[in-house]
Amino acid sequence: MIDSSAHIAAAKALLASPKVDPPSGLAALGAATLAAAAAIAMAGVVVLGPGVVIDDPSIVLSR
């Protein structure tokens, strides 16, 4: 006869929930920074819009 108690114990160990680390504050800060950068980039696109050209003004010195 096969002793199945070892197999049952191994199966129960696999069903146990894994240990989860607490959320990191640094990860939340990184996500907030990424969201802020994306919001600024999208706002720049909306304000400038397609086809807007910003010419580099030349410096004129007059005496």
What pLDDT is stored for residue 63 in this prediction? 61
pTM of the model: 0.44
Q: Which residues contact 39 (CB under 8 A, 6 or more apart)?
A: none
**Residue 51: which region, alpha, beta or left (left: phi > 0; alpha: psi -120 to 50)?**
left
What pLDDT is stored for residue 2 in this prediction? 73
pLDDT digits (tens, 9 = 90+) for 12-60: 888 888 888 888 899 999 999 999 999 998 887 767 667 766 666 676 6
Distance CA 19, CA 9 (A): 19
